A and B are shown apart, each in its own frame.
Chain A
Amino acid sequence: MLSRGVISCSAQSQKLFSVVPRSSAAARVPPPPSSPHPPPSSSRFASVAWRRSSSFCSSGDPKSKSRSRRMETLKARASAQPLQDADDLINSVETFIFDCDGVIWKGDSLIDGVPETLDMLRSKGKRLVFVTNNSTKSRKQYGKKFETLGLNVNEEEIFASSFAAAAYLKSIDFPKDKKVYVIGEDGILKELELAGIQYLGGPEDGGKKIELKPGFYMEHDEDVGAVVVGFDRYFNYYKVQYGTLCIRENPGCLFIATNRDAVTHLTDAQEWAGGGSMVGAISGSTQREPVVVGKPSTFMMDYLANKFGIQKSQICMVGDRLDTDILFGQNGGCKTLLVLSGVTSLSMLQGPDNKIQPDFYTNKISDFLSLKAATV
């Protein structure tokens, strides 16, 4: 079995069969004049442009694990503890931030015991916030989803990465006369509209075709000052080319990713290729890394801490994914709780490949109702 990235060489042609990895970053042709412009220091939201795996554009050295390179820079943490005394945890924080997919719901089905758990936390005076990397809906549309599922959640408590993209652009004073090209779904368009930002693209461009024949030329709007890329089920070559042209040719054009999740639970039955795929595609054609506004970047954490006046040490982040939810919580200096009701299994958490250790783990959030200290 050929394991990831390792090349099996036939003995007699050893010399030439060593498949040379892609050239190193230094050997790439220089980037276009437009480099990502960092948020001005006056911005209240000094977001971490969180570099995920650098493997997208750099040497595909079969022996290196880009994730473990990144992990070396995080301080070593003790192994995750199974949650035993829920009250202890609940009493130690003021705010719970919940991821949605795999924590609150799976696809369109509510996970068992969620409504009672949220009610219990509210009755104890805890603030509840919902932070999702899923950019297909706007906050308002998520509000409706919560309502449909019988959950009492206010739109103001929801922070989707679609909202984060618009909020990020606002925080850097994105010029009113510039436009945004969107490779993504309705949620992003709605949030940009609410923020008063002009946009092009979105699902509509899913129907556009190109013809690679002599004389065919694709124009692009030179006023596009940012390309926002997120999960996109209507992904196609037209959009890739449009976004690529904007980033490569419009001076100062930003490349923003709502998130880079590899897979997502669109339906409760299985995993689906996630936003990380679309963002990877644009990274591949532009040879640039995006500013990531969704988890694990702390942009949304900084935003809501500022908005609600919360101290990060008083927050517990609850999620099902180690490299987004838990890392998000850790980057923000919060307590972290992994639930096993989503994409991560116990063996993945405890496996040798995993370097991310949440403070606690438990099966699902309704364990808050059942896990009590033995003495109580």
Chain B
Amino acid sequence: MEVQSSTAGAPLEPLSPTNFPGLFDSVDAFLFDCDGVIWKGDKLIDGVAQTLDLLRSKGKKLVFVTNNSTKSRREYAKKFDSLGISVSEDEIFSSSFAAAMYLKVNDFPQDKKVYVIGGEGIIDELQLAGYTGLGGPEDSKKTAEWKSNCLFEHDKSVGAVVVGLDPFINYYKLQYGTLCIRENPGCLFIATNRDAVGHMTDLQEWPGAGCMVAAICGSTEREPIVVGKPSTFMMEFLLKKFQIDCSRMCMVGDRLDTDILFGQNAGCKTLLVLSGVTTLSALQGPANDIRPDYYTNKVSDFINLLGA
């Protein structure tokens, strides 16, 4: 599949009262990224709740596709609920879910274990899929010993290492994951995603999973299988659930090299919002080759555009 965006050179179109009705009528499902689109850290972005309500009232399907693997789909549904938005678990496709599903569809043996460098979300989804996850948040307090006769042990039955966002990253986890990948024959190296930075809090950007994944790439000299955006792996599950043609979907995200590329790779329409990691100058800058179909400031712009 082509990696380079095929839209390079196309003009950038801001969403406006002229083009919005056409887009709206041609889309049956809106796919939303979460961090930087719906919320920033634990704070809802202005006008999001009203916008989602409006879209539902107009009969549009809503789907949430997030690369943030720290929570399971269930936990994300709870987060939406705590922010006053009603979203069901099966409308959410997190990269934690994607990692577990990747193993399932590829018949990962039940007697093999998975070492997790990441959050509870991955551990939960693995468990739901019937797998045994080791590591995760539990290994955040562990340290290694460097004495002459001390061997750093690792479970030889680990058949896959899943790496995602881990704010509790430490040397112990790096070493454990490294040994599994380098020494257990056939051990898979799976990345939930490779986002460089993200809005883990409302006030600033923080290193994303791209950091932890690159750390393991550095010690194993291997490239991972990426299950989150821009990989279209998750799209298979979306299609099964919603049975809507990709051409009648619109991916709404704040990041060009994950959200927009995901949408383009899957054959959806794409809308970039400037409420997250991408600024207008970054979008328009000479180094950027990825052109979304449209861009706008934030999701709640829909309200004005629909009213017009």
| Chain A interface SS verdict (over half) | loop
Given A273-B171, A273-B175, A284-B194, decide whether A109 and B148 contact each other with a Cβ distance below 8 A.
Answer: yes
Is A137 on the interface with B (CB-CB < 8 A)? no
How far is the CB of A322 from the nearest CB of chain B, in Å?
12
Q: Which residues of B contact A93 (CB under 8 A)?
A: none
Instruction: Tell which of A67, A237, A240, A280 touches B217, judged by Cβ atoms closer than 8 Å.
Output: A280
Residues of A in contact with B, size category: 35 or more
Q: Which residues of A contact B201 (CB under 8 A)?
A: 212-217
Is B266 on the interface with A (CB-CB < 8 A)? yes
Please tell me if the beta carbons of A262 and B220 are within 8 angstroms of each other in the complex. Answer: yes
**30 A–B contacts from the bound complex (CB under 8 Å):** A1-B186, A16-B266, A18-B1, A18-B232, A19-B231, A20-B226, A23-B3, A24-B3, A26-B8, A26-B289, A27-B257, A55-B217, A67-B221, A210-B167, A215-B202, A216-B201, A217-B201, A233-B171, A234-B171, A267-B147, A269-B148, A274-B218, A276-B221, A278-B218, A280-B217, A280-B218, A281-B169, A281-B207, A281-B215, A284-B214
Given A27-B290, A212-B200, A278-B215, decide whether A20 and B265 contact each other with a Cβ distance below 8 A.
Answer: yes
Please tell me if the beta carbons of B219 and A16 are within 8 angstroms of each other in the complex. Answer: no
Please tell me if the beta carbons of B4 and A24 are within 8 angstroms of each other in the complex. Answer: yes
Docked Cα-Cα span, A217 to B266, in Å, equals 37
Q: Which of B53-61, B130-138, B280-288 contacts A (4 or more CB under 8 A)?
A: B280-288
Q: Which residues of A contact B36 (CB under 8 A)?
A: none
Please tell me if the beta carbons of A267 and B148 are within 8 angstroms of each other in the complex. Answer: yes
Chain B 210-224, CB within 8 Å of chain A: the 1/0 string?
111111111111111
Docked Cα-Cα span, A18 to B210, in Å, equals 20
Is B51 on the interface with A (CB-CB < 8 A)? no
Instruction: Tell which of A2, A10, A22 touches B105, judged by Cβ atoms closer than 8 Å.
Output: A10
Docked Cα-Cα span, A165 to B212, in Å, equals 24
Instruction: Tell which of A235, A260, A266 touches B169, judged by Cβ atoms closer than 8 Å.
Output: A235
Q: Which residues of A contact B230 (CB under 8 A)?
A: 20, 22-23
Name the CB-closest residue of B to A58.
B3
**Contact surface of B with A, Cβ cutoff 8 Å:** 1, 3-5, 8, 41-43, 105-106, 144, 146-152, 166-171, 174-175, 178-179, 182, 185-186, 188-189, 194, 196-197, 200-204, 206-208, 210-227, 230-233, 235-236, 239, 255-257, 261-262, 265-266, 277-278, 282, 285-290
Please tell me if the beta carbons of A62 and B223 are within 8 angstroms of each other in the complex. Answer: yes
Please tell me if the beta carbons of B106 and A2 are within 8 angstroms of each other in the complex. Answer: yes
Q: Which residues of B contact A210 (CB under 8 A)?
A: 167
Docked Cα-Cα span, A31 to B152, in Å, equals 38
Instruction: Tell which of B168, B189, B219, B231 touches A280, judged by Cβ atoms closer than 8 Å.
Output: B219
A30-B282, A284-B213 known; 14 other A-B pairs, CB under 8 Å? A2-B225, A5-B225, A20-B262, A29-B282, A60-B224, A107-B148, A214-B201, A233-B144, A233-B146, A241-B206, A248-B197, A267-B148, A271-B182, A281-B214
Report how many A-B pairs have Cβ atoms within 8 Å: 241
Chain A 210-247, CB within 8 Å of chain B: the 1/0 string?
10111111100000000000001111110011001100
Docked Cα-Cα span, A169 to B252, in Å, equals 44
Instruction: Tell which of B189, B197, B290 touches A285, judged by Cβ atoms closer than 8 Å.
Output: B197
Q: Which residues of A contact B151 (CB under 8 A)?
A: 269-270
Q: Which residues of A contact B185 (CB under 8 A)?
A: 1
Please tell me if the beta carbons of B218 and A244 are within 8 angstroms of each other in the complex. Answer: no
Is A176 on the interface with B (CB-CB < 8 A)? no
Please tell me if the beta carbons of B178 and A284 are within 8 angstroms of each other in the complex. Answer: no
Q: Which residues of A contact B286 (CB under 8 A)?
A: 30
Docked Cα-Cα span, A169 to B225, in Å, equals 38
Docked Cα-Cα span, A260 to B220, in Å, equals 11
The 6 tightest CB contacts between A and B, nearest first, are A280-B218, A284-B214, A30-B287, A285-B207, A276-B218, A281-B215
Q: Which residues of B contact A30 (CB under 8 A)?
A: 282, 285-288
Residues 1-53 of A at the B interface (beta carbon under 8 Å): 1-2, 4-5, 7-8, 10, 13, 16-24, 26-31, 53
Q: Which residues of B contact A213 (CB under 8 A)?
A: 41-42, 201
Given A27-B261, A273-B219, A280-B218, decide whether A244 and B197 contact each other with a Cβ distance below 8 A.
Answer: yes
Docked Cα-Cα span, A1 to B236, in Å, equals 23
How far is the CB of B215 from the nearest CB of chain A, in Å?
4
How far is the CB of A340 from the nearest CB of chain B, in Å?
19
Name the CB-closest residue of A to B203.
A217
Given A5-B223, A10-B105, A284-B194, decide whether A272 and B3 contact each other with a Cβ distance below 8 A.
Answer: no
Please tell me if the beta carbons of A262 and B223 are within 8 angstroms of each other in the complex. Answer: no
Residues 248-295 of A at the B interface (beta carbon under 8 Å): 248, 260, 262-263, 266-274, 276-287
Instruction: Tell which of A26, A108, A215, A287 touches B148, judged by Cβ atoms closer than 8 Å.
Output: A108
Docked Cα-Cα span, A240 to B166, in Å, equals 11
Instruction: Tell which of A4, A27, A60, A267 touches B150, judged by Cβ atoms closer than 8 Å.
Output: A267
Q: Which residues of B contact A281 (CB under 8 A)?
A: 169, 207, 211-212, 214-215, 218
Is A155 on the interface with B (CB-CB < 8 A)? no
Please tell me if the beta carbons of A240 and B169 are within 8 angstroms of each other in the complex. Answer: yes
Q: Which residues of A contact B287 (CB under 8 A)?
A: 26, 28-31
Please tell me if the beta carbons of A284 and B196 are within 8 angstroms of each other in the complex. Answer: yes
Is A363 on the interface with B (CB-CB < 8 A)? no
Please tell me if the beta carbons of B223 and A4 are within 8 angstroms of each other in the complex. Answer: yes
How far is the CB of B18 from the nearest CB of chain A, in Å?
28
Q: Which residues of A contact B217 (CB under 8 A)?
A: 55-56, 280, 284
How far is the CB of B32 from the nearest CB of chain A, in Å?
20
Is A59 on the interface with B (CB-CB < 8 A)? yes
Please tell me if the beta carbons of A273 and B174 are within 8 angstroms of each other in the complex. Answer: yes
Docked Cα-Cα span, A280 to B213, in Å, equals 8
